[in-house]
Amino acid sequence: MLAEDIEFARAEEYPLREREYTDEQLTEEDMQKTEFVNTRFLRCRFFDCDFSGAGFYSVLFEKCDFSNCRFSRSYWKASAVRECKGNGAKFDMAVLKHVSLEDCRLDLTNFTRSVWENCSAEECNFAESFFSEVRFRTVRFVKSDFTKADFFRTPLKGIDFSDSIIEGITVSEEHRELEGMKINMFQAAEIARLLGVKIV
């Protein structure tokens, strides 16, 4: 059903509206520039699918797997992603506005040069993910794992990481990304080591 709907939407250049898809499985599907409006995906699995340039407006992904799929230059607004797996997915240059991520596995995911506005991520795993040159505007991270994440040239001023894991993060040699970020006293020791400071 989903494959047929996408084929129709692409052919007619028409957005998919007011749809619900459950337990669908798609492989190598081309969904580039497809628009989804008020649509819900439940327990769907996407294998090597291409959502590049797609639009997601009031969309819910719940218990889905989109690992290694491409969402480059996609646009998200007023949407939610819950209990999903997206390891190795590509969200480079994506725009996310008023998007919430909850209990998701997004390690090794590429968010390079993406834009996040009024977004939140709670209990998500971003280990070894790429956040290079990202623009964060009013974001909230809660109990999330950023182990060995790359924040090269991404200002973290004002962002609260105090209940998240930031061990082994990567920044530029000047460490300007760290200015104004909020951390707890235990994380301060980790940041001090990153700065080359020896605590005695």
Q: CATH no. for residue 54?
A: 2.160.20.80
Q: Is residue 171 part of a domain?
A: yes
Q: Is residue 165 part of a domain?
A: yes
Q: Is residue 51 part of a domain?
A: yes
Alpha-carbon separation of residue 92 from 19, 51, 53, 67 (angstroms): 27, 12, 11, 14
Residue range of the domain that includes 177: 2-194
Q: Is residue 199 part of a domain?
A: no
Q: Is residue 167 part of a domain?
A: yes
Q: What is the DSSP string of 32-81?
A: TT-EEES-EEES-EEES-B-TT-EEES-EEES-B-TT-B-TT-EEEEEEE
Greatest distance between any 2 Cα atoms in the chain = 67
Looking at residue 9, its pLDDT comes to: 84
Looking at residue 199, its pLDDT comes to: 59
Give bridge partners of residue 97 from the DSSP assignment. Answer: 77, 117
DSSP H or E segment with residue 12: helix 2-12
Q: Is residue 90 part of a domain?
A: yes
Q: How far is CA 147 from the centre of its chain?
A: 15
Among candidate residues 47, 5, 41, 7, the one with its CA nearest the CA of residue 25: 47
pLDDT by 10s per residue, the chain, length 200 = 898 998 888 887 889 999 999 999 999 999 999 999 999 999 999 999 999 999 999 999 999 999 999 999 999 999 999 999 999 999 999 999 999 999 999 999 999 999 999 999 999 999 999 999 999 999 999 999 999 999 999 999 999 999 999 999 999 988 999 999 999 988 887 787 777 666 55
pTM here is: 0.93
**How many domains does the chain fold into?**
1
Q: Is residue 200 part of a domain?
A: no
